[in-house]
Amino acid sequence: MASIYTHRDKNIRKTWFLMAGFLISVIALGWAASWYFGNPIILYVVAGIAMVMNVVSYWHSDKLVIKMTGAKPVSSNSHRELWNIVENLSITAGLPMPKVYIVEDSAPNAFATGRDPDHAVVAVTTGLLNMLERNELEGVVAHELSHIGNRDMLVSTVAVVLVGFVAILADIFIRMTFFGGNRDRGGALMIILGIAVAILAPIAAKLIHMAISRKREFLADASGVLLTRYPEGLASALEKIGAHSHPMRRANHATAHLFLSDPFSHNKKGFAARVNNMFMTHPPMEERVRALRGDAK
């Protein structure tokens, strides 16, 4: 029977396969554009811009996320219990104490960001603090610290950059196909294929991005439980968070994948829920709870 411990290695392998697919798709689009237009410089420009975007995002991702979410720093004096939980679990995980932030929002949620454990941030909403018991809050904090320990933040940032970059590249490609290009390299058929690639590439990139986020959430759930040794704490917290029906006030699609729970979720039912789950950056709460309690299908 599957348990929380069986997800870790499996999800790590799948994540690396997905990241490899991401990189290959970007390089392939750049190569296709350079081949079609007979200009190898296009490939070099595509690779160069992608590297620059990754470097910039790596160094400034935490500051951007904090600003976009409106998070405010807290101290041990203002939020003693939260501070102690983060400090104790950081020691258990062998991680440096991250900066602790609060987001003024009634929706229960949390996120972690930062380029590495030495520059990490853990943030929770006021709604989360008001809703959860201590052992449930410990489960959530352990989940976020696991993201830091597993170096998920860098992977997530790269995924966001690549999704945006593939979409931009595809848009440029489709415009250049209409307004120029080497007509001897395939003629009308190449134009049709180019349009198809330009339309499907950003969709595929977004799906890979969502898959990476979903696998990372399962991995962080499993790793977090290894810290607390109490699966029911996080499972109970996820049930309470999943039952909340209102999205976050400052929800943003650029940062949605960083949160413990999808900040756009609305507690949908039936067909609407199935459609919504297809495009969520997080796996359904029910699946995560089942995995934590050892009864995943």
Q: With contact defined as beta carbons under 8 Å apart, do 191 and 33 qualify?
A: no
Q: Are 134 and 225 in contact (CB under 8 A)?
A: no
Q: Which amino acid appears at position 250 of this protein?
A: R
CA 39 to CA 49: how far, in whole Å?
16
Structure tokens at 199: 């339309």
Cα separation of 53 and 56, whole Å? 5
Tell me how far apart the alpha carbons of residues 214 and 203 are, in angstroms, rounded to a whole number. Answer: 17
Q: In this structure, are residues 113 and 61 in contact, taking their beta carbons and an 8 Å threshold?
A: yes
Residue 228: enclosing H or E segment and its boundaries?
helix 187-228
Annotation says 144 is catalytic:
yes
Q: Which contiguous run of DSSP H or E holds residue 124?
A: strand 121-125
Of the candidates 138, 144, 217, 232, the residue annotated as catalytic is 144
What tokens does 224 get? 């977090």
Q: Are 101 and 73 in contact (CB under 8 A)?
A: yes
Q: Which residues are catalytic?
A: 144
